[in-house]
Amino acid sequence: MREAHAHIFQLGRSLTMLDCSGCSSRDEMLSLIRERSSTLRDDEWVLAHSVRPEGWDDPRWPTRMELDGASGYRPVSAWCFDYHSMAASSAALSHAGIHAGSTIDRGIVGVNEQGELTGMLYEHAALVLWSSVPEPSTADRRSLIIAACDHLKQLGFNEVHDLKSQDWLGPLLHDLQSEGITDQRFELFPLIKDLDATLATRSTWESDQLKLAGTKIFTDGALNSRTAWMLEEYCDTPSLGTPMMTAQEIDDAMLLSKSHNLPVAAHAIGDAAVRAVLDSIERTGCRDSGMRIEHLELVHPDDLPRFKALGVIASVQPCHLLPDIEALNTALHDRLDRVLPLRSLIDSGLEPGTELVFGSDVPIVRADHEDSLQAAIHRRRDGMDASDAIGMDQALTREESLTCFGV
């Protein structure tokens, strides 16, 4: 099978982090942090992922002070499962130089009514803190990549697309392939800001089994953080979300990639973000060049035929529907007909497996392809009543869904 949207290094790192996906409450999360902290040295961080308050009875994140108490006042970074927001302890915020008066471009630093830090960070503010976390050593980095490749291989993936490739990833994967440690095929999509560094070494590592396949941009945030960019305001907050790029910035990325004969893979979750990318592809003359839109969790009906007309690949992660059901019903209950319009994309002319492809976005959610099959076929979590399904008219067959994985 083909995993069309993964983050290999982040997956390897997540396998060593505290997994909060099984937590059903804030208290359970704090208990896990307390338990992990008891095993660490005083200078070690608690790094956690897959926090999903939307699924709790009381969907409130732990406060900075609660994290301080549970961790013994050590640095804590706890990612939301979508990796677009995080909760951080006082020590972590101090380490990153983030305070109540901090302003971060395209990021939000949470403060309470008294003007004190809550510990919540959104979008680029979360990335600022994460960039201050001590990086794994070169040896540890190699071990993490091997662990991630093994994990994906065990799930049946012999081809993996990495959608945020570090400039060192190509050379490292080349070494692993040369040493016979992995026989998987890889396609790499570095962030546009990392393109020059990646191009500088491209000739030393690229092969038929390992290729630079495009670039990556982020045009909006995520649904659970209410930062996905919408055409209409969320039902539960007077906001359209957070555009992460201007129209000019998207155009510049398209044209730069085009100059190197590379397509862009554009993160676009909200329907406004999807439209902005389609508009840019049309405006810059990048049609029929392998451009990809990633996620497209919401698409306006007017934009569905534009994928085929512009030659744009729809790279979808149906598995996101499963953890997003509560957020969809709360924040977008008036437009559920726009959610993951898989059947409509096929009806508009996209060919499953080549123009409509599936991945997971691991480690945002797990890479098991059965999760995407569950979402694409049944449009709800296993065990849910059929009445809880989101958009059954957009359901695919199992055969169609497997074809989207390259089977």
What is d(CA 50, CA 123) in angstroms, rounded to the nearest whole number? 16
Asked whether residue 82 carries a pLDDT value surpassing 90, the answer given is: no
Q: Provide, rounded to the nearest whole percent, the portion of the chain with pLDDT above 70.
A: 100
Give residue 288's domain range.
2-9+139-404
Angle between helices 369-378 and 321-331 (to 10 degrees): 40
- Beta strand ranges found along 29-158 (DSSP E): 46-51, 76-80, 85-88, 107-111, 117-123
CB 230 within 8 A of CB 255: no
Q: What confidence tens digit (pLDDT) does each residue in 363-376 have?
A: 989 999 999 999 99
Q: Do 102 and 178 belong to one domain?
A: no
**What's the mean per-residue pLDDT of the chain?**
96
Last residue of a domain, one of 103, 132, 161: 132
Q: What is residue 319's DSSP assignment?
A: G
Q: What is the pLDDT of residue 54?
A: 85
Cα angle 381, 48, 240; round to 5:
60
Compute the average pLDDT of residues 220-241.
95
Q: Exposed, middle or buried: residue 134 (CB in 10 Å: 0-12, 13-18, 19+)?
A: exposed
> Which tokens belong to 284?
């810059």
User: Of 387, 377, 308, which is closest to residue 343 (Cα–Cα)?
Assistant: 377
What is d(CA 274, CA 285) in angstroms, rounded to the nearest whole number? 17
What is d(CA 378, CA 362) in angstroms, rounded to the nearest whole number? 21
Using pLDDT thresholds of 50, 70 and 90, give the confidence band for residue 190: very high
Q: Do 269 and 333 belong to one domain?
A: yes
Residues 6+ apart with CB under 8 A from 106: 123, 124, 242, 244
Last residue of a domain, one of 132, 159, 192: 132
- 3-class SS letters over 260-296: CCCCEEEEECCHHHHHHHHHHHHHCCCCCCCCEEEEC
Q: Do 179 and 196 belong to one domain?
A: yes
CB 81 within 8 A of CB 364: yes
Residue type, 4: A
Compute the average pLDDT of residues 157-171.
97
Compute the average pLDDT of residues 105-120.
94
- Prediction pTM value: 0.89
Asked whether residue 234 carries a pLDDT value surpassing 90, the answer given is: yes
What is d(CA 84, CA 365) in angstroms, rounded to the nearest whole number? 13
Compute the average pLDDT of residues 307-320.
98
What is d(CA 1, CA 9) in angstroms, rounded to the nearest whole number? 20
Q: Do 114 and 256 belong to one domain?
A: no
Strand pairing report for 76-80 and 46-51: parallel
Q: Do 128 and 180 belong to one domain?
A: no
Q: Which of 39-53, 284-298, 390-404 has the lowest mean pLDDT?
A: 39-53
Last residue of a domain, one of 132, 162, 191: 132
Compute the average pLDDT of residues 377-399.
97
Handedness of CA 78, 80, 83, 86 (dihedral sign): negative
Q: Do 128 and 159 belong to one domain?
A: no
Using pLDDT thresholds of 50, 70 and 90, give the confidence band for residue 126: very high
Q: Do 127 and 83 belong to one domain?
A: yes
- For 65, other C-beta atoms within 10 Å of its C-beta total 14
What is d(CA 161, CA 212) in angstroms, rounded to the nearest whole number? 10
Q: What confidence tens digit (pLDDT) does each residue in 341-371 have?
A: 999 999 999 999 999 999 999 998 999 999 9
Q: The domain that contains 252 carries what CATH number?
A: 3.20.20.140
Q: Provide, rounded to the nearest whole percent, the portion of the chain with pLDDT above 90.
A: 95
Residue type, 325: I
Q: Do 78 and 150 belong to one domain?
A: no
Q: Do 122 and 247 belong to one domain?
A: no
Q: What is the pLDDT of residue 130?
A: 94
Using pLDDT thresholds of 50, 70 and 90, give the confidence band for residue 55: confident
Give the residue carrying structure tokens 């359209």: 240
The neighbouring-strand residues paired with 117 are 111
SS3 (DSSP) at 56: coil
Q: The domain that contains 78 carries what CATH number?
A: 3.10.310.70
In degrees and rounded to multiples of 5, residue 197 shows phi and psi of -65, -35
N-term to C-term CA, the chain: 6
Using pLDDT thresholds of 50, 70 and 90, give the confidence band for residue 83: confident
Q: How many domains does the chain have?
A: 2
Q: Do 66 and 161 belong to one domain?
A: no
Torsion region of 311: left, alpha or beta (phi above 0 gives left; psi -120 to 50 gives alpha): left
Q: Which of 99-108, 282-291, 308-317 has the lowest mean pLDDT?
A: 99-108
Q: Do 200 and 108 belong to one domain?
A: no
Compute the average pLDDT of residues 227-250.
96
- For 222, other C-beta atoms within 10 Å of its C-beta total 28
Q: What is the pLDDT of residue 122?
A: 93
Q: Do 208 and 89 belong to one domain?
A: no
What is d(CA 247, CA 280) in angstroms, rounded to the nearest whole number? 7
Q: What is the pLDDT of residue 42?
A: 84
Asked whether residue 70 carries a pLDDT value surpassing 90, the answer given is: yes
Asked whether residue 168 carries a pLDDT value surpassing 90, the answer given is: yes
User: Of 68, 86, 66, 90, which is closest to residue 77 (Cα–Cα)?
Assistant: 86
CB 10 within 8 A of CB 81: no
Compute the average pLDDT of residues 257-285.
98
User: Of 181, 116, 191, which is closest to residue 143 (Cα–Cα)?
Assistant: 181
Q: What is the pLDDT of residue 225?
A: 86
Compute the average pLDDT of residues 111-122.
95
